[in-house]
Amino acid sequence: MGTMLGGDSLANRAGVVTADWAGLRPEEKRQRRMDHFLSPPGLEFVSDQAARNYRTRARRLVDVYSLREPDRVPVQLPVGNFPFQHYGITLRTAMYDYDQAVRACRKFNEDFAEELEHFASPWITPGRVMDLLDYKLYSWPGHRLGMDVPSVQFMEAEYMKEDEYEALMRDPSDFWLRTYLPRVCGALAPLRSLPPVTDLVEVVNLVQFMPLASSGMQSMLQTLMDIGKEYGRFMEAMAAAGPSGAACGYPVGFGAFCKAPFDTLGDTLRGTQPILKDMYRRPERLLAALDVVADFTIRSVLRSPNIDNIFMVTYPLHKGADGWMSQKQFDTFYWPSLKKVMDALIKEGLLQHMFAEGGYNSRLESINDFPKGAVCWFFDKTDMSRAKKVLGDRCCLQGNLASSLIVTGRPGEVKAECRRLIEEVGAGGGYLLSAGATPEFPKLENLRAIMEAVREYGVYRK
């Protein structure tokens, strides 16, 4: 959990939280955040035209999220790593040679940003940092994957054992520091030898600091210093990319990143098969742990460095999709802890941007209990006509353009499908056109077809 900058650093901007913040209603806080997004204080545009473009595009997004009819259906193109592919560099090259990644994105912006209304930023994960960490959660090109593989892959495992629920619930920070991190980061294995930090009470004695004398611990500390230096090189390269997307007229609204508590436990800690067994073998313990995870998830998001300057929190939802569990299990195990997180962040004026991976057709009636304009449901493989009927009076809808069509289809087919979605879901506003997921190899002619469709069929007649 944390802030996703999306290519535009917000660190130096004045925030929305002022002395009267605690007394505002949630909808007033949300409006203040959106006003801040519409007119970002301290943002210097590269030109008057960029400023006008920013205001038009930002207003379009605010209107659609607020369930008002904008000037035109907004679009979020599934560009992904297309700039790297189009200009002949692999994802591995981009992850290790930051200058090449920057050049590819800069060239894309020169060639296509205005036409496609998309500003590319080289926000990739530095490969050298993951090498130094000996990171177990991902495989990436050249590290457990072939050098030319175009994506990073998640490596699920049982990083928390079935008898460790009590340790997690008793002290999540201690569990993370001395158990979880040493398992997912080989370089951090020496953390296992540390005593609990609460053992440091008043008298500092030899026993408490003995682990620091080990060669493994000193090597780990040196590795952490090396990681800091590598991140410094990465940030220097990003700064050299030039003006941000926002400064060039392209608003960025991703904001903070968050996970459903069940996904935190099921993806990152227990693994799919173990957590599904836990629903049967230890349901009460699982529910108690989900409540603990929900609480520290809320705190984590609200501690994000730029929380005062963002209006959105994005969730990639995994194990709640159709077919993962029964409706009763969804209503018991998945939804309550997720809704607890969402409700807490809605109270802080943050729009909840829910990327429902897979299908959510059987979940629609369960996920509509929110204030109007507080949630955007980003669908992948869901019946959008039915979603409009069930959710459209309260929630913005996004997505459901098939990624496979963007890769394998012809421009005419893509354009026709975009038209169908616009006419089916976009009536009256509240729809953002996008793919259900970002394909690895989108065709340029199909990206152009999406833009043609939205300009031809997505304009609202006032």
Structure confidence at residue 211 (pLDDT):
87
The strand order across the sheet containing 144-145 reads 144-145, 138-141, 153-154
Exposure letters 3-20 (e unless 16+ CB within 10 A, then b): bbbbbbbbeebeebbeee
Domain count, the chain: 2
pLDDT at 423 over 60: yes
Instruction: Output 461 or 173, whichever has higher pLDDT.
Output: 173
Structure confidence at residue 145 (pLDDT):
96
Three-state DSSP state, 385: helix
Q: Within this chain, do residues 227 and 281 fall inside the same structural domain, yes or no?
A: no
The strand order across the sheet containing 351-356 reads 2-3, 256-257, 312-317, 351-356, 375-379, 396-399, 431-434, 75-76
pLDDT digits 0-9 by tens, 297-351:
999 999 998 899 999 999 999 999 999 999 999 999 999 999 999 999 999 999 9
Give yes or no for a contact between 433 and 76, defined as CB atoms under 8 angstroms apart.
yes
Q: Domain boundary residue among 186, 218, 240? A: 240
What is the extent of the structural domain holding 387?
A: 2-79+118-122+245-457
pLDDT at 123 over 60: yes
pLDDT at 102 over 50: yes
Q: Which of 346, 340, 349, 351 is nearest to 312 (CA)?
A: 351
- Token reading at 282: 């230890």
Q: Which residues pair with 377 in a beta bridge?
A: 354, 397
Amino acid at residue number 374: A
Structure confidence at residue 324 (pLDDT):
92
Confidence of residue 2 (pLDDT cuts 50, 70, 90): low
CA–CA gap between residue 109 and residue 247 (Å, rounded): 13
Exposure letters 252-288 (e unless 16+ CB within 10 A, then b): bbbbbbbbbbbbbbbbbbbbeebbbebbeeeeeebee
DSSP code of 304? Answer: -
Classify residue 34: in a domain, yes or no. Answer: yes
Q: Within this chain, do residues 349 and 285 fall inside the same structural domain, yes or no?
A: yes
pLDDT at 13 over 70: no
Three-state DSSP state, 355: strand
Classify residue 328: in a domain, yes or no. Answer: yes
Q: Within this chain, do residues 414 and 265 fall inside the same structural domain, yes or no?
A: yes
Q: Domain boundary residue among 240, 268, 303? A: 240
Q: Domain boundary residue among 221, 240, 259? A: 240
- CATH label of the domain that carries residue 9: 3.20.20.210
Q: Within this chain, do residues 340 and 414 fall inside the same structural domain, yes or no?
A: yes
Give yes or no for a contact between 426 and 459, defined as CB atoms under 8 angstroms apart.
no
Instruction: Output 122 or 139, whichever has higher pLDDT.
Output: 139
Structure confidence at residue 333 (pLDDT):
98
pLDDT digits 0-9 by tens, 243-285:
899 999 999 876 899 999 999 999 999 999 999 999 999 999 9
Q: Phi, psi at residue 251, to the nearest 5°?
A: -65, 145
Strands 2-3 and 256-257: antiparallel
Q: Within this chain, do residues 216 and 348 fall inside the same structural domain, yes or no?
A: no
Classify residue 311: in a domain, yes or no. Answer: yes
Confidence of residue 19 (pLDDT cuts 50, 70, 90): confident
Average pLDDT over residues 176-204: 91
pTM for the full predicted model:
0.93
Q: Which of 408, 357, 364 is nearest to 384 (CA)?
A: 364
Q: Phi, psi at residue 434, to the nearest 5°?
A: -165, 170
Q: Which of 225, 195, 220, 189 is nearest to 210 (CA)?
A: 195
